[in-house]
Structure 1
Amino acid sequence: MAENTDQGTATTGPAMPQQPTTTRLVAFLGSPAVKFVLIGLLSFLLLVPSIFVWVLVEERAHRAKDVAREIARSWGGTQEINGPYLVIPFTETYTTGSGEDFETKTVRRTAVLFPERLTVGGDIAVEERKKSIYKLPVYSARLDLGGAFAAPPEDMFEPKHGGTINVAADKAVVVVGIRDVRALKSEVTLALAGTGAVPFEPGLGLLATPKDRDPRHASGSSGINAAVSPQAWRNGFSFDVKLQLNGSTAIYVAPAGQTTRVSVQSDWPHPGFTGAFLPETRTITGSGFDAAWTIPYLARGIPKVMETSHLPLQNRLMGVKFVEPVNFYQTISRSLKYAIGFISLTFLAVFVLELRSGWRFHWIQYALVGLALIIFYVMLLAFAEHVGYALAYLIAAGAATLLNALYIGTSLKSRAAGLVMLAVLGSIFGVLYALMQEQDYALLIGSVIAFVALAITMFVTQRIDWSGQSRPDPKPAGAAV
């Protein structure tokens, strides 16, 4: 009996309790810390489809620009009214050398005289022309250019080489630069005080547009000219030019007078004033706008007379753009820059809800939620082209919010979680819309939101066991990570 007892004692001693290594590894891989890292990696992976969406937005924007150019070619492009200027050609004949090297040379020169005063009045009727699903603001403008040229100064035709000056008095013309003369809708005449009206001819005569102009704007010499008698220009004269022309997108005027006054009124309620000078006064209402400029001689910064073969003041134009209320292509493209933060905030909210509820949310489910947010941008682009940006945003954001809130609530088996996500996504979409409307404050608002989100996450997850060593077994509703 004792022997059996001793043998039993020798063979059945107590076993030491040990935790297998594989169990620790599984616990670590299922820990909140690993899940948090995987969610972060997934957020960055979702940047790939967001880039494809950005490419799609840019492609649709280029298509819209191409259609806008087609409309502009048929109706009229951006108009630039530059002038009028009095252009007088003359020659200087001089001799050089002596003996066998004696030579007589003749140089052709062009004097340009600016008006002593210039008044430009404009009435611009704007409408939107559509082609397919795209549209472009186009206008019909009635402009009245009035003023006076003073008698040329005595030193206007000074010799440069000590030669003899010969003024081609009968070749003097008044020139008005018009960027797209094809869009003129009526004949144009130069009304001279006391001498009747002189019809304009096509072309800039002795002048040309500068060769270094923006190639997008350059279309060769574009404008009109009218002959002026020697008696008229030598003594000075008053003038009046009425223009009726079509255009699109914008209209610009040059401060051609020694003193220039411009007044423009239009029925377009979304003007964008631009150029070398901004209006002194402007009134913008829901039914249109009025604007007025006054440019004195000293502010213009060039002399009263100059010698040139090119149209002056091409880099000192001022005017107004007929801006669309929302350029949604640019807005959507800009909002895609916030996609990573947008997705991360959503994932962060789901992650916190998952930890608080005890139900597991698989990383594939996170990916599906993220893809729903990417599809939001595609829906926004598609609907905006048909119903406008504001309504399209409401439709796309509402669909994405309801879908994700319902999916998260049912996956976590919690109506409260669904309602929380409904509030969170509604807030995120609301903030994103505000960011797009207030782009000057976008960085400030975005940084505050990121700080607040991080602070909330820090305190909500303060008691979370990130290692997962003491975490109870999860409820079996969702798939395990």
Structure 2
Amino acid sequence: MLQLLKDSMLAKVGGLLLLVLLLCIPLAEIDRINNERGDSQREAAAELAATYAGPQTVVGPLLLVPYVERWMEPLRDAQGKVIGQEARSKEMAHVVFPDKLHIEGSMTPQQRYRGIFKIPFYTLDATLSGGFAAFDPEAVAHSEPDSKIEFKAPLVAFNVSDLRGLDGSPALTVNGAELRLRQRVPGLPDDSWFANGIHAPLGAAALAAWQSRAALPFEMKLSLVGQDTLSMVPISEETSAHLKSPWAHPSFGGRFLAAKREVTPQGFDAHWRVSSLVSSAREQVRADLAGRADATAASANGNVRAGPQPFNPQSFDVSLAQPINVYSMSTRAGKYGALFIGLVLMAAFMFELFRKLRLHPVQYGLVGLSIAIFFLLLLALSEKLAFWLAYAGAAGASVLLLGIYFAAVLGSWKRGAGFAAFVAVLYGALYGLLASESNALLLGALLIFGMLSALMLMTRKVDWYALSRRPEAAPAALVDPA
């Protein structure tokens, strides 16, 4: 019975399938290590964001006009009878958005390190220019009937998501006069994201122009450091932006994509143009300045604010994407691990079948394990070298090992070289799958179909039953009793 199982081709094929399943265990462990390294990279990015600067969202400049609304309310006694009038008041701020805002800037990429991990940063050098329309007091709505509004001196407000990224103080000029920027924005609720920004009261000349209802042009020169992503919020009637950078792998995102962009190996050049007619960013900013929390996040009584609210306005973004993320590439390569091992073992089985050689299950196991180790070697090398170089090194070492091993196992350097050439072709096909992400499914399907077709054509005349049949013993010679 044991000899029958040993000689059975069906049993050998079943054993190879079981071996492929067992080799999925080290593949899964390598994938776990890869995920852990990817998590470590993200933790390194979060640490740099906490200690240096994170992704930046730019909002402003805009004009805040503080005012006091005063009115009279009836004063009643315990029985509800009116016994007089009581003066009431509340302080608010009217928001004036720019008529036009143009952002002209350049992003200079840089790399920062946390351990072995490289995290992309940028320095934005930009000029923000535009103007505020003449102020109309009648545009300010009264919240109480018969109330009077007393306006205070307006101020220019500006904010980015991480003020630590400001490289020096921005140079702000309004109506031709330079203003001095100060920390925090007064008169805003504590739960307003914008309250943590910077502001500047209008100078005497600008204030006089404002009071005479003249338009106020402004210009701000900004130097800002950020991590990976820059987001710009379109708060004006018409917001336009022009950014350029020597980074050749940008990723455009946000609510509004670039209207025009040019990406070359020397960098990118992108233009945006967003109208307030298609954006709700102004309403989102206005709601934040008013400190209004979402009703679903309010406290049970509905009168107490629920604390600081997340501020995620509509924006247009550009990110300095990594051209190759070694951990995502290693993960994608590992997804083909079981298939790759199966194809190599199939090739070894074909050598055994057609060359009438006997390979031990241990030999099959060592071959499969060497392929699994390739993926671990690829991960380790890609942290130190460019991915293509790491892939070439890991694949070259694996091909050389299998060539030398099979030259001895198959008893011929020519056979060993032929087997190594087959494995090299598989590694080349796998790299093609990884390099062509948009066509990975098509190439993978063609690879599997091609290998299956080759197997079927090569074995179309094989008598599988004859391969499993034990050779019959020769009949004994007849002995002459005489």
> Which TM class, normalised by the smaller chain length?
0.7 to 0.9
Paired residue for 1:65? 42
How far residue 56 of structure 1 moved from its aligned partner, in angstroms, is 1.0
Paired residue for 2:200? 226
How far residue 209 of structure 1 moved from its aligned partner, in angstroms, is 9.3
Distance 1:291 1:307, change over 3 A: closer
Paired residue for 1:175? 157
Paired residue for 1:389? 387
SS at match of 2:271: strand
How far residue 358 of structure 1 moved from its aligned partner, in angstroms, is 0.7
How far residue 129 of structure 1 moved from its aligned partner, in angstroms, is 2.6
How far residue 375 of structure 1 moved from its aligned partner, in angstroms, is 1.0
2:124 and 2:224 in contact (8 A); partners too: yes
Distance 1:365 1:306, change over 3 A: closer
Paired residue for 2:469? 470
State the distance in 2 between where 1:273 and 1:352 align. Answer: 50
Q: Which amino acid aligns with 1:181?
A: L
Distance 1:34 1:61, change over 3 A: same
Paired residue for 2:476? none
- Aligned pairs, how many? 441
2:173 and 2:218 in contact (8 A); partners too: yes
2:7 and 2:470 in contact (8 A); partners too: no
State the distance in 1 between where 2:443 and 2:257 align. Answer: 30
Q: Which amino acid aligns with 2:398?
A: A
Q: Which amino acid aligns with 1:379?
A: L
Q: Does 1:133 align with 2:110?
A: no
How far residue 470 of structure 1 moved from its aligned partner, in angstroms, is 3.3
1:283 and 1:290 in contact (8 A); partners too: yes
- From 24, 44, 53, the counterpart of 1:76: 53
RMSD: 2.8
Superposition map of 1:302-451 within 5 A: 307-310=286-289, 314-451=312-449
1:271 and 1:323 in contact (8 A); partners too: yes
Superimposed CA distance per residue, residues 22-71 of structure 1 (whole angstroms, 9 cap, x where no aligned partner): 3xx52244222111111111111111111111111122222223333344
Superposition map of 1:247-262 within 5 A: 247-262=226-241
TM-score between the two structures when normalised by the length of structure 2: 0.84
Q: Does 1:31 align with 2:13?
A: no
How far residue 161 of structure 1 moved from its aligned partner, in angstroms, is 3.5
Paired residue for 1:191? 173
State the distance in 2 between where 1:397 and 1:409 align. Answer: 18
Paired residue for 2:127? 144
How far residue 351 of structure 1 moved from its aligned partner, in angstroms, is 1.1
How far residue 331 of structure 1 moved from its aligned partner, in angstroms, is 0.8
How far residue 105 of structure 1 moved from its aligned partner, in angstroms, is 5.0
Comparing 368-377 with 63-72, greater Cα deviation is found at: 63-72
1:177 and 1:311 in contact (8 A); partners too: no
How far residue 96 of structure 1 moved from its aligned partner, in angstroms, is 6.1
Superimposed CA distance per residue, residues 320-363 of structure 1 (whole angstroms, 9 cap, x where no aligned partner): 11122211011101221111111111111111121111111112
Paired residue for 2:26? 49
Q: Identity of aligned pairs, percent?
A: 29
1:110 and 1:308 in contact (8 A); partners too: no
State the distance in 2 between where 1:76 and 1:346 align. Answer: 48
Distance 1:76 1:455, change over 3 A: same
State the distance in 1 between where 2:393 and 2:36 align. Answer: 23
TM-score between the two structures when normalised by the length of structure 1: 0.84
SS at match of 1:387: coil
Determine which structure has greater relative contact order: mean sequence separation of CA pairs < 8 Å that are 6+ residues apart, divided by chain length: 1
State the distance in 2 between where 1:263 and 1:393 align. Answer: 38
Paired residue for 1:162? 145
SS at match of 2:411: coil
Structure 2: runs of 5 or more not aligned: 292-310, 473-482
